Amino acid sequence: MIKATIFDLDGVIVDTAKYHYLAWRKLANSLGFDFSKADNEQLKGVSRMESLELILKIGGQTLGETRKQELAKQKNDWYLEHLDKMTDDEILPGVVDFLDDVAAQSIKIALGSASKNAELTLKKVGLLERFEVVIDGTKTTRSKPDPQVFLLGAAGLGVEPAHCVVFEDAAKGIDAALSAGMYAIGMGNETELGHAHLVLPSLEGVRCTALQKQLVR
Ligand code: BG6
Ligand code: MG
């Protein structure tokens, strides 16, 4: 029985994963090395500072704390330039109809994201009020694959993990949902997300009743 849904933000609700990638690539290029889309998969779902550490490792660079803080700020400034131009056109296909359907079935809705820009992003696309609980990078201390973000979401909603379903585009997010003892739905492809209970290309045409039947057999 599904009683709550917990959604990742970037790459699940809005098409912002590409902006994180563009900003990180620009930062890597400014440091004199390149950063591929394949490298970027490791960063999905990971906090800003941990992402920076991974990038510096890829580029073989060791930097001091002050410089790292400056670079993280620079990346975020570049990211926010994209976010600033974003409209509700960048809500991913099927998301609004699916959120309507979830609410109509009296199933609860939370956000579980690593981003410190989560509330700003949801406001920007007019979806903030759809989420009863928002757990984001300002409220967590551990990055996915740690289950903390989803367990806090479930606790905030007052629903047992076993009755929650998580929607995620990051392999580390699927790991986090599974170790929280929740159902995990991968948004993307089987190659990256094959360890989820179910993988969907998008939420277009997806409805709760059919989804429950697929998950809870
Ligand atoms: C996650 C993204 O949702 O948030 C990562 O998948 C990003 O790519 C992370 O690094 C942190 O985001 P922010 O907005 O706090 O820099
Ligand atoms: Mg994501």
| Residues 6 or more apart in contact with residue 165 via CB below 8 angstroms | 2, 4, 5, 6, 182, 183, 184, 185, 211, 215
10 and 116 in a common domain: yes
**Would you tell me how many other CB atoms lie within 10 Å of the CB of residue 64?**
8
Residues lining ligand 1, judged by CB closer than 6 Å? 9-10, 17, 20, 43-48, 51, 76, 113-117, 137, 170
- Per the structure, the count of domains in the chain is 2
Residue type, 101: D
Q: What is the domain-level CATH number for residue 66?
A: 1.10.150.240
Give the closest residue to 183 by CA, choosing from 4, 43, 11: 4
Ligand 1 atom 14: residue of nearest CA: 115
Active-site residues, by number, are: 8, 10
Ligand 1 atom 12: residue of nearest CA: 115
pLDDT digits (tens, 9 = 90+) for 88-121: 999 999 999 999 999 999 999 999 999 999 999 9
157 and 171 in a common domain: yes
- CA atoms of 80 and 178, how far apart (whole Å): 31
- CA atoms of 213 and 129, how far apart (whole Å): 28
Helices 65-85 and 48-58 meet at what angle, rounded to 10?
A: 110
pLDDT digits (tens, 9 = 90+) for 20-52: 999 999 999 999 999 999 999 889 999 999 999
Six-digit token string for 131: 């989420």
Which pLDDT belongs to residue 216? 79
Atom index in ligand 1 nearest the CA of residue 116 equals 15
pLDDT digits (tens, 9 = 90+) for 52-67: 999 999 999 999 999 9
70 and 43 in a common domain: yes
